Chains A and B, each alone.
Chain A
Amino acid sequence: MADFEPVLLANIHLPDSHTFDVYEGKGGYRALRKTMRELKPVDVIEMVKASGLRGRGGAGFPTGLKWTFLPKDHPGPVYFLLNADESEPGTFNNRILMEEDPHQILEGLILSCFATRATAAYIYLRYEYPLALERMQRAVDECYRARYLGANILGSGYSLDVTLHRGAAAYICGEETGLIESLEGKRAWPRIKPPFPAVEGVFRKPTVVNNVETAACVTQIMSRGSDWFKSIGVPPPADNPRDAGSYGPKLYCLSGHIERPGCYEAPLGITVRQLVDQYGGGVWRGRKAKAAIPGGISMGLLREDEFDCPLDFSGPGRYGCLGLGTAAVVILDETVSIMDYLYNSARFFAHERGGQCPPCREGTSWALKILERIRAGRGRLKDLDLLAEIAGSIGIIPGTTICGLADGAAWPMKNALSKFREECEETIKRTNPKGWMVTDPVPALEAGITVHELKAVH
């Protein structure tokens, strides 16, 4: 790894790195000018396909392949949605790119739109990123002035308009069809697929949704070539030829109980331990780690003895986690109670779920109520079975819900209950010495009664 050179973050420390002049001064937009002069859309698609790039937004779908799902000879328009809703707890790499190097994203966006023949692009930007909004807007304006956006870009005959669209503090707008509904002005209720967005997306037209970091990777692929991209990262595991591999550099977010929290660029496949030791400066305050979230809270939990898990697209799955997700690693030190972690996670999902699928709506609500009850010293061992039952029955994987938010709600419970079973049981026995063994049905916490009041009653 010694010879690995960051490219996505190469310029973020330059003064005024977010401006057009600095970006162009560093060779930016050369790939765009060359593409407009010499290449056809299909050439771009082929290069992105050959690079092995997989989407950075969480699902890891091969980007070039996704683009080929657009119907051929569609009269148009085709829409391109840049997913800048970044709300997965632990994740902030899109923010850093947008704040410090917005032109790298825009170049990739324009190239991607050209490849997919999209004539209008919307950047769906989460509300809580005011500085990113300001800098992205400035970058868009600069591109219009430079004729990289608008009608007949650089005389190529290709035209593209880009609009920034601000979200309103709702995690579910990051799910691609929730994003589409939200953009259309409706509640962000994800759609049943198929039809996939490529066939019928926003405004009922063919639509591509890609993540901000994916767009930045497109810029790098078009300027350095697919072979360069594919020389970084890891090929598919030998026992799984259907895996598409994990190629290219990746922005890992490191936070929680770590000495040097931050966003670090490394080849796909770095292990949690390497990330913590080589980039993060170790666990904070010289403590020992207990666990790590491998890719945003939805992905579940790794125990400390699993820190050799490679953070590529298939690594976390082999360790029982949901997947690589956003590659946002959160370190939990030895003082953290797993029940507190579970409660935090359950509260997030109960608050953020859209609410249209009963298993998700009820499951996330009840999981939170059960965990509140445990926190109030009224837990029973049976509650762990109830949580496991909820975790096993909500999500796309068991086939009961429309979108993957519910799988993300399930995984922290699944992993905590299987990997930290003893601690979960011990916590309940310790905090409810008289009642932990009860198996009769008990009422949920009455609405309006706070944990404090309950503790007082108890």
Chain B
Amino acid sequence: MTKSDRVLTAEMIAEIQALFPRYPLRQAVTLPALHVVNRHLRHVPLQAVVEIAELLQLAPAQVQDTLTFYGFFKQDAPHGRTRAWVCRSISCALRGGEEMLEYLCQKAGIPAGDTTPDGALTLEPAECLGACEHAPCMLAGDRLHKNLDRDAADQFLRSVRSNAVETGESVS
């Protein structure tokens, strides 16, 4: 593997290494390191896993094992520039959460869990987002959308498409 095939940038490596003093064992930096890479690349390709393992002095299989346990990190392709989690757990479901997910998927033209072809949006079904008093709700990037209805959903999709992404450049 030549140097140019490597995916972790010096910046990512520095971010990960800065966490080492916080933990007595390097393996504990696995999840934080995956988050660092995911924040930059919107996914964690296998090559990144290998490089994280090198940094943490682990076997790649150990990092990969942890990664796959959390359905959170995509590996094959980046998630959309905005990643939206639509809650379908009980309090939201009682107030139309599942219908909102269905509606958003229809309007965006993708099944839940997928990314729009232009790479703008990934729609994820979510379990309780811990914001049940605002049901039904959705977390898009760092922004919580409360009491979601069709109008709010339309507006959200417009903003995502026009790329005036109200969620800021935060794409995590």
| Chain A residues close to B by CB (< 8 Å) | 77, 86-92, 94-95, 126-131, 161, 163, 165-171, 182-188, 203, 253-257, 261-263, 293, 297, 328, 330, 332, 336, 340-341, 344-345, 347-348, 351-352
Pairwise interchain contact B31-A341, C-beta atoms closer than 8 A = no
Pairwise interchain contact B27-A184, C-beta atoms closer than 8 A = yes
Pairwise interchain contact B90-A344, C-beta atoms closer than 8 A = yes
Given A336-B94, A341-B90, A185 and B132 contact (CB-CB distance below 8 Å): no
B66 CB contacts on chain A under 8 angstroms: 185-187
Q: How many residues of B contact A (CB 8 A)?
A: 43
State whether the Cβ of B121 lies closer than 8 Å to any Cβ in chain A: no
Pairwise interchain contact A126-B91, C-beta atoms closer than 8 A = no
B54 CB contacts on chain A under 8 angstroms: none
Residue A168 contacts which of B34, B88, B128, B131 (CB distance < 8 angstroms)? B34
Summarize A's interface: helix, strand, loop or mixed: mixed
28 of the cross-chain contacts (CB-CB < 8 Å) are: A77-B24, A87-B128, A90-B128, A91-B130, A94-B130, A161-B22, A166-B35, A168-B72, A171-B127, A185-B28, A185-B30, A185-B31, A186-B30, A186-B62, A187-B65, A203-B24, A255-B133, A256-B94, A257-B94, A257-B95, A261-B132, A261-B135, A328-B132, A336-B94, A344-B89, A345-B90, A348-B90, A351-B127
CA–CA, A126 and B94, complex, Å = 23
State whether the Cβ of B142 lies closer than 8 Å to any Cβ in chain A: yes
| Chain B residues close to A by CB (< 8 Å) | 22-25, 27-32, 34-35, 56, 62, 65-66, 69-73, 85, 88-91, 93-95, 126-135, 139, 142, 144, 170
CA–CA, A90 and B134, complex, Å = 11
* Shortest 10 CB-CB contacts between residues of A and residues of B: A185-B30, A187-B69, A255-B132, A185-B27, A168-B70, A89-B128, A255-B91, A130-B142, A261-B133, A168-B72
Name the residue of chain A whose CB is nearest to the CB of B70. Answer: A168
Question: In whole Å, how far is B143's beta carbon from the nearest beta carbon of chain A?
Answer: 8
CA–CA, A168 and B44, complex, Å = 13
CA–CA, A131 and B70, complex, Å = 22
CA–CA, A255 and B136, complex, Å = 11
Pairwise interchain contact B89-A256, C-beta atoms closer than 8 A = no
Residue A90 contacts which of B25, B72, B73, B132 (CB distance < 8 angstroms)? B132
Pairwise interchain contact A92-B35, C-beta atoms closer than 8 A = no
Pairwise interchain contact B130-A86, C-beta atoms closer than 8 A = yes
A77 CB contacts on chain B under 8 angstroms: 24
CA–CA, A351 and B25, complex, Å = 30
Given A87-B130, A89-B128, A293-B90, A184 and B65 contact (CB-CB distance below 8 Å): no
Pairwise interchain contact A297-B31, C-beta atoms closer than 8 A = no
CA–CA, A330 and B25, complex, Å = 41
CA–CA, A167 and B56, complex, Å = 18
Given A128-B85, A255-B91, A255-B133, A186 and B27 contact (CB-CB distance below 8 Å): yes
CA–CA, A171 and B89, complex, Å = 12
A347 CB contacts on chain B under 8 angstroms: 88
Pairwise interchain contact B90-A128, C-beta atoms closer than 8 A = no
